[in-house]
Every structure is written in structure tokens, then in C-alpha cells.
Amino acid sequence: MDHRRRRPTRSVFNFIPLDDMVLADLNNAIVARMAKTNRQRKADVPMTYAEFSKLVTISKKDIFQETIAENRETMRVKKEKTVAKNLEKIFSAVLKISNRKGFKAMSMRDLSRESGLSMGALYSYFSSKDELLEILQHQRRSISERILRERVNAAGTAPEKLKAAIFTHLYLSEAMQPWYYFSFMEAKNLNKIEREKAVAGDLNLERVFESIIQQGHKEGVFRAQNPQLTASTIQAMLQDWYLKHSKFAKRNITVDQYAQFVLDLLTAFLAKK
């Protein structure tokens, strides 16, 4: 029996009708929670990955709440707890299969077996593999950009912001390594619009570091290096962590050690002499 149904291109899940005000309240609540946590920590006190992972656990739960809220028009499952539980199964199964043999090679039957959900159940959450890929890419960008923004904004001086940005990005990619790896490797399979969104996400990250470097120059603590090129180089170093994760694991290098090394390297490079 073919469970596929014709649906709108844009995927949206619908467990309860939510108007824009409710959706805005949900987003504000998540942002407020992160901001409150950030304010409770002094910007100049190093955060370890163990501490940061507690924040990510909270945010991971929020991922599924956001997915439900943002994708709400064509979903047949009505119970929120069931939706959140099954979304986690689906996301985890996709990452596991895709990072083993590639998303393109993954069949819906593969996903059904790995997630433990029937084919019919899967099509209750999305109408196609392309739609599922879009959801995964969007949610990874969304949660990462928000947490990074909140951590950087909580810091004061340029050196503090630089530290916050480096540590936060590396800790996020450590906690969500399969997801980061998936997003990078599967970008080639996105349609034109989604590829443009992925590129825009990369440029947004570079602009974060450009802004920090420019602030440091104004504060008189950083040299007048090429902010754009420096930001691009920083991004490459950050990507190296989640793309070549096994290399660092074999060398017994922890994410805390790598984050501190990158920070020390950039501090020495940017420091005004």
C-alpha cells in the first residue's frame, strides 16, 4: 500500500493550531531562558563542555517544540508528547543512517526500520525525503544560531566575545556532532533555495567573528587585520573539529583543549603589539 500523499512543498507540522502570537511567545520564552542562564555566568569565567552540555540538553528539547510549532499545517498526529517522541526517533535514525551511507542512499524503508515507525507513521510527519532534509537543516541552523547569539551577546569586551563565540560553537558541534556533520555533507543534496539558506548561515557565522574583530580594533586590543579573511579562517578551524572528529579522538584531544588552543592562537594573532 502506498502511504504517500500529495502535500504542499513547505513542510509544517500541525498538532494544535497556533497563531503568530503564540509562536512568538514560545520563541521569546526559549530566548529568555537562554539569556537568563547566560547572565548567571560571568563572561570572563571559562565554561567547560560538561557545564555547557546541560544547556544543550534543555535546547534539544526545545528543538522538537519548535519543529512542532513551525510545522503545523499538515500533520495528522495530534498528541504533542507523541510528536516530540517520534520526531526524536526520526531525527536520530536519519543521522545514524546518513552518516553511515549517505542521506541520498537512505530509503524510507531504511528509516522505518531504524526508527521503529511504520511507513504510514513516517508520512504523518513529512511528505518526502526532501522535506525531511529541509526540516533537519533548518532546525540545526536555528538552534545553533540562537545559542551562539545569546552567548556572544552576554559577553562584554571583544576578547570576551571572541572566547564566547569560539567555545560556544565548538561545544555545540561537539554536542550535536552527527547533526553538524550531516548538515555539512548533505548540503550538496539541497535544492537551490535551501542551498542558499545554508550558504547564508555560513556567512552569518563569519559576520559574527568579523564584528568581534572590528569591535576589538575599535577597543584598541586587536590589530587591524583583514576581518573578513580572518573570520573565514576561524570558521575553517571550527569546521575541522566536527568534520575530522575521529582524528582528534585518536589523539586524545578533548573539545575543551581544542577550544582553548584555537582561542590562544587567535588571541596571539590578533593581539595589538
State residue 6's pLDDT score.
Answer: 40
CA-based end-to-end distance of the chain = 71
Number of domains present in the structure of the chain: 1
Segments forming the whole domain that contains residue 232: 20-74+127-270
> Percent of the chain scored above 70 by pLDDT?
74
Cβ contacts of 258-265, under 8 Å, gap ≥ 24: 258/170, 259/166, 259/167, 259/170, 259/171, 262/166, 262/170, 262/234, 262/237, 262/238, 263/162, 263/163, 263/166, 263/167
- At residue 80, the pLDDT reads 65
Q: Is the pLDDT of residue 241 over 80?
A: yes
E strands, the chain, where?
none
* Percentage, residues of the chain above pLDDT 90: 24
pLDDT tens digits, residue range 131-150? 888 888 887 887 888 888 88
Cα distance between residue 32 and residue 20, in whole Å = 18
Q: Hey, is 3 helix, strand or coil?
A: coil
Quick: pLDDT tens for 184-209: 887 777 777 777 877 887 888 899 99
pLDDT for 31 beyond 90: no
pLDDT in the model for residue 72: 61
Average pLDDT over residues 149-154: 88
Helix%, strand%, coil% for the chain, nearest 5: 75, 0, 25
Output the domain CATH number for residue 208.
Answer: 1.10.357.10
Which whole number is the average pLDDT over 239-264? 92
Residue 214 included in any domain = yes
Residues 46, 162 contacting (CB under 8 angstroms):
no
**183: pLDDT confidence band, cut at 50, 70 and 90?**
confident
d(CA 224, CA 217): 6
- 38 falls within a domain: yes
Whether residue 15 is contained in a domain is answered as no
Higher-pLDDT residue of 176 and 111 is: 111
- Tell whether 248 is covered by a domain: yes
**Beta-bridge partners for 222:** 271
pLDDT band at 162 (very low <50, low <70, confident <90, very high): very high
Distance (Å, rounded) from C-alpha 273 to C-alpha 257? 26
pTM: predicted TM-score of the whole model, two decimal places: 0.74
Averaged pLDDT, 69-84: 65
Query: What is the rounded average pLDDT of the residues 74-85?
Result: 67
The pLDDT value recorded for residue 188 is 76
pLDDT digits (tens, 9 = 90+) for 202-233: 888 899 999 999 999 999 999 877 899 999 99
For residue 106, tell me if it sits in a domain: no
* Cα separation, 63 vs 78, whole angstroms: 18
Residue 161 lies in a domain: yes
